[in-house]
Amino acid sequence: MGAYDSDIPDIEGLAAAARGELVREIDAEGVWAAEPVWREAFEAVPRHLFVPYYYVAGPGGHERRWGESADPAARERWVLGAYEDVPLATRLRDGRPLSSSSQPSLMARMLVALRVADGDRVLEIGAGTGYNAALLAHRLGDDDLVTTVDVDPEITESARRHLAAAGHRPAVVTGDGARGVPERAPFDRIIATCALPGVPRAWIGQCVAGARILAPVSTGLLAMTVRGGGRAEGRFLPSAAFFVPLRGARRAAVGEVGGVPSRALEDELFQFLMELTQGVLGPAEAYEVWARAGRPGRERYGVTVDETGEWLWLDDREGPWVWPLPV
């Protein structure tokens, strides 16, 4: 590992033990019961190689944990913290995360939900640290089947270095993720690791018929199937998901709250509906729908993209609750 080996001679042993504990923790949740192949990927891919430093929020601001610290105790905190089941901020701007390594258990749920099959060509939107791309490359057994894209050249360059250190060389592309990567298409699977206001049509056009797209939209995970002819449709998964927004994507404030009970404003499921329908429904209108529908969970919402536009619906694409998705 470098100059600090004499201070912590068993850094890899610490990492292996912590990684094993993380895998057991995710395993206990039953996340990959249907696809144990992902357990093997998380056991094999060393997360600490992808986070040579990260930031931990504290009462006095963010603490920077660094694998090259001169303090042996600090290096030990770094390697053990790399295997906690939490998101790790890797870049900050004005005290807010600009890029991060997502929570491992959430990553595991998303990868299982992506339903990757042998031989699939996968596009990842949001390269981050490169850790997710490494998990995909390990699962598929062929680095060339994986493409990851990010708009920030510093992020893509560091992702390449991390991936190479872990023994993987998928295609790492610098570009606008909303446009996909047409030169690497077609894709069988697309997974986004950054929050979006909707699913870009460019992705659908770069997929084969039957492809699956999994993307964080608002605070939910939208799983869509590409039908061909520029059409795709799917529903949200039940669980919540919180990600750093795609650079340049609009994420406006919810808006006015007149006429809405305070208990609803504090309910994350109502906040989910308000964010999805911002600019289309006012808060009072959204509350009326939400109350009449019986506080619907995320899994009751779906999205259809077709020649007429991008549509959000509750329960049924044919109505009565259908709204244009503001993208």
| 218 a catalytic residue | no
- 189, with CB counted inside 10 A (0-12, 13-18, 19+), is buried
What CA–CA distance (Å, rounded) separates 208 from 218?
Answer: 26
Who contacts 80 (Cβ-Cβ below 8 Å, separation ≥6)? 14, 18
End-to-end CA distance of the chain: 45
What CA–CA distance (Å, rounded) separates 77 from 205?
Answer: 45
Residue type for 74, please? A
Angle formed by the axes of helices 131-140 and 104-114, nearest 10°: 40
Of 99, 101, 102, 218, which is the active-site residue?
99
**Cβ atoms within 10 Å of 228's Cβ, excluding its own:** 12
Burial 242-252 (b: 16+ CB within 10 A, else e): ebbebbeeeee
Residues designated catalytic = 99
